[in-house]
Every structure is written in structure tokens, then in C-alpha cells.
């Protein structure tokens, strides 16, 4: 595992332990995706409002802790500041507020909203003939929401080649409404689709760097919920919104660094 | 009023290249010339109202002033969460402009009626809620509010009144008529036409509002010593008026039932007692019973 991605996961575990908040498995499935996004996009951590920056919208808002720890890893703020995660008066809520956290382009949390906002942003940039681009990260559970597919219809109809939809196929809905063969579905909607291993940074960065004329690009990232700690992978539902106590934290850290 | 809306937006687009029109496949012919003139600022985007609002938010984030327009119940009740979160919570501005409410599509029945829009939108922090009653009110309100960065709601009507309500200022109500008895009738939007016809020769005060949020509390407070009768064909005005402390308020308006009688706007208004005759009877009842509670 990439050392920074390992560190981001360790931060997620530590902050979840100390704060009592966070969706660890859903964060762990997207750490490489988030890391690859900030490796690929044009952005300035010391100048978050840089006018020429590319835009990232975390549509699956439940991964906010993973997003914060990734932004910290890139230097947006010290990770120690995220320690107040979810606490009264903290800037770092369990879902992100764009007015409180540098690097957050849209406040999300309710599923199926961020992708529509991202479509509007990409349309706005297209109208301005801007070279800036928009990436949004959508979860497969989130794709139960009809608005995800509404937004895809519009993105295809408007030929938004500046929009990349990163789809976290972590099979989170295996006990509920599953979406098998997501790549086929996005293709059927008219998107350009690339399938990657969602924990392979080279594949992710290559896919994030490619564009297809006149089509939004969907990257279906095949991921493992809880990736990095076997205990989390084995007990996904038990750990959906659970924070480790001291003993379990030590065990999870051991698994993380053994892996 | 839709024609007026098109005219205003076209004039604004002439001098402001941040003006964008997004339609939900409604009023498309109205905007034919607009589309031909500014094809990259006109989008008949589809019949997917929640996404129309989300896209509006994203365009606003990129500095545009979008006008998103379709039928009232679908663009308000159906996508309430998108308005709440994508526009209001994110503080991405935008102009939501609807047609069809309350009963402009009377014949279509309850699926196409909209009478909660004003009431539910006024609950959202940062939202501006307007129900212009005349083309002139619409004209002033759009021009002063469209680019202020706030989410703004404009409810159009196919049956505007032509009453001169004096100077039109966002957030201010108008005294249409002053009387000496202790009764004040308060209304909003196009229904002012019926209300004025009903009370023209009665010795009551008559106030009219085009802005439901923020409501002009100072004006209402001037009439706090009188009994107040809110006459409205929707929810929202009564609730806004009641936020002024110490009032005695009665309501002549919308019942707790679906109005599935079809026909035309006037048929439904008559059935609800919101034609001039019905309104007059309600006001006379107030005048005849000083102790009425």
C-alpha cells in the first residue's frame, strides 16, 4: 500500500477512535481514489480559492472523514485540526460544510445531490470555454437515488467532457438494492466508461488523466469496503458507523501496517 | 405574466452575460428567440426538476445568475430538499420561477395544483419568497433581486391583477385602501383583484403583499390594533402575518382538503368563497360581529 494512503487510513482510524464518529469502511474504500484525485487535479492547497483550480465534489458525503484526512495529507490544514471531528463547535462536521473547511467545493451529506451540483459546475465551465474540470465521487449505495441517474442523463445530453464521475463500486448494497454491472449501465446511458481497480493508484491516475470528446467520463472503481484492515472487510455492516475502542484501534493499526 | 417574465429576462440577458435560462420543458415557445440568440445560455434541460435545481446551484457556483422555470408543484414540492441544501445551505443563489399555482391548471386536478409552495419555501434560511400580483410587480422584483446571490422564488400567475399598488419595493407591503373601522384585510398576489372588488366600498383597511419572505412586519404592526382577516388562495401569507406579535388574525382561504373539481381558476375560487362575492361576505361578517374570535 502507498505510504500516504496508509497514513490517511491511520488518521481516519485515530480520529474515529478519539471522536467516536465516522464511517470507516466507506472511507477506506475511497482512500486511493481521493489520493489520486488530488494528485491529478490542478489545485493549490495554500490557495484553496485559486481561480484556475479544478473542482472536486464529494457526492458520497459519508466519506467526509476520509476527504478531510486526504486534504490534510496534501497540506490544506494540519490533520490535528480534524481531531475535533463531529464535536460541538468544530469546523469539521461528519458531513462537510464548504464555508468551514478549505478545499470543500460543495456542502454534501444527503445522497444524490453532489453529482447534480457537479453537473451544473461542469456546464458553467463549458459555457465559459474553460479548461478547468470537475470530478465528483459517487457511491454505489448513493446510486440508489434517482437523482444520480437524472444527473447522468443531463451530463450526457450536454456533452460534458469536462466532468469525471468516479464511481465507488464497493458493493455496499449487498443486503439492499444492488446495482450489478455499473459499467454497462453507465455505457448504456451514453457515458465513456473506464473500469479500474479502485486501490491501484496507477490505474486511477491514468484514468483520471484521460478524457473522451463530448462525453462525461465515468471511472468505475472496483473497491473493497474496509480495504486495508481485514477485520473491517470481514464485518462491513457491523463497522458501518462504529468507532474503535483503544484495544480495537491497536488491532486495526496492526492489520493496517501488516498489510 | 409568462410573457412579461420572458421579456424581462431577455432584456437582462442583453446586458448581463451571466443570465442563463433553464426550462423543464415548459414555456419553451416563449423563449424561442432567446434560444436562437443565446444558444449557450438557454437549456430546455428535461423533465427532472430536482436535477434542474442542483444544476442551478452548480451554475451559480460558477458565477452565473440562472433562471430555472417550470410548473410550481414539481419545482417546489418535488425538489424541496434540493432547494434546501443545494441552494440555501450551500448559499448558491438562483431564481426559481414557477407557473401554474395555485389553480392556474385548475382543470388538471390536485396533481397540478400548488398552494404549499409559498409556505414551505419561506421556512428555508436565506430564501426570498415572492408572489407578484401584477406584471409591474414582477418586473420590479426580478430586476432588483435576480443577481443578489440569494435563492429567490418568483411565483407567476396567468391571471394577474391590474391594480396600481404604488411604488414596488422588495420586502414592502402596500396600503391599497384605508378605512376607519377596526378591520384590516390582508392579501397577496393576483387575488388582490377579487379582494379589491369585494371591499372597494367597505370601510376597512386593505393591505397587499408581493413579498411573502421577508414579510413587511412594520407595516402589519401599524394595524395591530384592528382585527385582521387574511384572504389568500394558498398557505404562507397567514403564517407570515402571524409572526407579528399581538395580532388577532382570522383566515379566509384554503381549506384542509384537495380541490379536485377541475374547471377554471374562477370556478375553484368561487367554490372556496374566494370570488368577490365570497370574500365580501367574509369581510361583512367581520364588520357585523365586533367581538368575533
pLDDT at residue A120 is higher than 50: yes
- pLDDT for B290 equals 62
Question: What ipTM does the predicted assembly reach?
Answer: 0.97
Q: What is the pLDDT averaged over residues B253-264?
A: 95
- pLDDT for B99 equals 98
Q: What is the pLDDT averaged over residues A97-105?
A: 98
Is B43's CB within 8 Å of A158's CB?
A: yes
Number of C-beta neighbours around residue B292 at 10 A: 13
In whole angstroms, how far apart are CA B227 and each of A192, B83, B202?
65, 35, 15
Q: For residue B273, what are the contacts with CB-CB under 8 A and spacing of at least 6? A: B252, B279, B281, B282
The alpha-helical segments, DSSP class H, found in B62-204 are 72-76, 80-81, 117-121, 135-145, 192-199
Beta pairing partners, A194: A219
- pLDDT for B57 equals 98
Q: What is the pLDDT averaged over residues A57-76?
A: 98
- pLDDT for A174 equals 85
pLDDT at residue B293 is higher than 90: no
pLDDT digits (tens, 9 = 90+) for B29-52: 999 999 999 999 999 999 999 999
Contacts of B85 in chain A (CB under 8 A): 107, 109-110, 113
pLDDT digits (tens, 9 = 90+) for B190-218: 999 999 999 999 999 999 999 999 999 99
Pick among A110, A111, A117, A119 to test the B interface (most B CBs inside 10 A): A117
- pLDDT for A98 equals 98
- Residue B256 is classified by DSSP as S
Contacts of A122 in chain B (CB under 8 A): 58
pLDDT digits (tens, 9 = 90+) for B80-104: 999 999 999 999 999 999 999 999 9
pLDDT at residue B147 is higher than 50: yes
- Provide the pLDDT confidence category of residue A259 given band limits of 50, 70 and 90: confident
Domains annotated on chain B, with CATH: 2-155 (3.40.50.970), 174-287 (3.40.50.920)
- pLDDT for B289 equals 83
When mean pLDDT is compared across A73-82, A170-179, B127-136, the lowest value belongs to: A170-179
Of B51, B62, B89, the CB nearest to A125: B62
Q: What is the pLDDT averaged over residues B217-243?
A: 98
pLDDT at residue B292 is higher than 90: no
Is B82's CB within 8 Å of A116's CB?
A: yes
pLDDT at residue B129 is higher than 70: yes
- pLDDT for B78 equals 98
Counting the structural domains of chain A, the total is: 1
Q: What is the pLDDT averaged over residues A57-75?
A: 98
CATH number of the structural domain spanning residue A252? 3.40.50.970
B53 touches chain A (CB under 8 A): yes
pLDDT at residue A122 is higher than 50: yes
B91 touches chain A (CB under 8 A): yes
- Residue B34 is classified by DSSP as H
Mean pLDDT, rounded, of chain B = 97
Range of the domain at A68: 3-258
Amino acid at each position: 500500500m502507498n505510504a500516504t494512503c496508509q497514513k490517511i487510513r491511520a488518521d481516519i482510524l485515530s480520529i474515529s477512535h478519539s471522536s467516536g464518529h465516522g464511517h470507516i469502511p466507506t472511507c477506506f474504500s475511497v482512500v486511493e481514489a481521493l489520493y489520486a484525485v488530488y494528485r491529478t487535479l490542478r489545485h493549490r492547497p495554500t490557495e484553496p480559492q485559486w481561480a484556475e483550480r479544478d473542482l472536486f465534489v464529494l457526492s458520497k458525503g459519508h466519506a467526509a472523514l476520509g476527504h478531510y484526512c486526504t486534504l490534510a495529507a496534501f497540506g490544506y490544514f494540519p490533520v490535528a485540526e480534524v481531531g475535533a471531528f463531529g464535536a460541538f463547535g468544530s469546523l469539521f462536521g461528519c458531513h462537510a460544510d464548504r464555508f468551514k473547511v478549505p478545499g470543500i467545493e460543495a456542502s454534501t451529506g444527503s445522497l444524490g445531490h453532489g453529482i447534480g451540483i457537479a453537473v451544473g459546475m461542469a456546464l458553467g465551465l463549458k459555457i465559459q470555454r474553460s479548461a478547468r474540470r470537475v470530478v465528483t465521487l459517487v457511491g454505489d449505495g448513493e446510486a440508489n437515488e434517482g437523482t444520480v441517474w437524472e444527473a447522468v442523463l443531463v451530463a450526457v445530453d450536454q456533452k460534458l467532457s469536462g466532468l469525471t464521475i468516479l464511481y465507488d463500486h464497493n458493493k455496499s448494497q449487498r443486503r439492499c438494492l444492488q446495482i450489478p454491472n455499473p459499467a454497462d449501465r453507465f455505457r448504456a446511458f451514453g457515458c465513456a466508461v473506464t473500469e479500474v481497480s479502485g486501490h491501484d493508484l496507477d490505474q486511477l491516475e491514468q484514468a483520471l488523466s484521460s478524457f473522451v470528446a463530448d462525453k462525461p467520463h465515468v471511472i468505475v472503481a472496483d473497491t473493497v469496503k474496509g480495504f486495508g484492515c481485514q477485520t473491517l472487510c470481514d464485518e462491513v455492516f457491523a463497522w458501518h458507523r462504529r468507532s474503535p475502542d483503544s484495544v480495537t484501534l491497536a488491532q486495526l493499526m496492526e492489520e493496517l501496517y501488516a498489510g | 405574466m409568462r410573457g412579461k417574465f420572458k421579456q424581462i429576462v431577455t432584456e437582462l440577458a442583453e446586458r448581463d452575460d451571466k443570465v442563463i435560462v433553464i426550462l423543464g420543458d415548459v414555456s419553451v415557445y416563449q423563449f424561442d428567440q432567446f434560444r436562437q440568440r443565446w444558444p449557450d445560455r438557454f437549456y430546455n434541460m428535461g423533465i427532472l426538476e430536482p436535477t434542474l435545481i442542483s444544476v442551478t446551484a452548480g451554475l451559480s457556483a460558477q458565477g452565473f445568475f440562472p433562471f430555472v422555470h417550470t410548473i410550481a408543484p414539481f419545482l417546489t414540492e418535488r425538489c424541496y430538499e434540493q432547494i434546501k441544501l443545494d441552494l440555501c445551505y450551500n448559499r448558491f443563489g438562483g431564481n426559481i420561477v414557477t407557473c401554474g399555482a395555485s389553480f392556474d391548471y385548475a382543470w388538471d386536478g390536485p396533481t397540478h395544483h400548488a398552494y404549499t409552495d409559498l409556505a414551505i419555501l419561506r421556512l428555508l434560511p436565506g430564501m426570498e419568497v415572492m408572489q407578484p400580483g401584477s406584471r409591474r410587480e414582477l418586473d420590479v422584483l426580478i430586476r432588483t433581486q435576480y443577481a443578489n446571490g440569494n435563492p429567490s422564488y418568483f411565483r407567476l400567475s396567468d391571471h394577474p391583477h391590474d391594480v396600481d399598488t404604488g411604488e414596488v419595493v422588495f420586502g414592502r407591503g402596500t396600503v391599497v385602501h384605508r378605512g376607519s373601522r377596526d378591520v384590516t384585510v390582508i392579501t397577496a398576489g393576483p387575488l388582490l383583484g377579487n379582494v379589491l372588488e369585494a371591499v372597494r366600498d367597505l370601510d376597512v383597511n386593505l393591505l397587499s403583499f408581493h413579498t411573502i419572505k421577508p414579510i413587511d412586519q412594520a407595516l402589519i404592526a401599524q394595524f395591530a390594533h384592528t382585527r385582521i382577516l387574511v384572504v389568500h388562495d394558498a398557505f404562507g401569507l397567514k403564517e407570515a402575518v402571524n409572526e407579528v406579535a399581538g395580532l388577532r388574525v382570522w383566515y379566509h382561504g384554503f381549506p384542509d382538503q384537495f380541490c379536485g373539481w377541475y374547471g377554471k381558476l374562477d370556478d375553484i375560487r368561487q367554490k372556496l368563497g374566494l370570488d368577490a362575492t365570497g370574500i365580501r361576505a367574509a369581510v361583512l361578517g367581520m364588520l357585523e360581529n365586533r367581538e368575533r374570535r
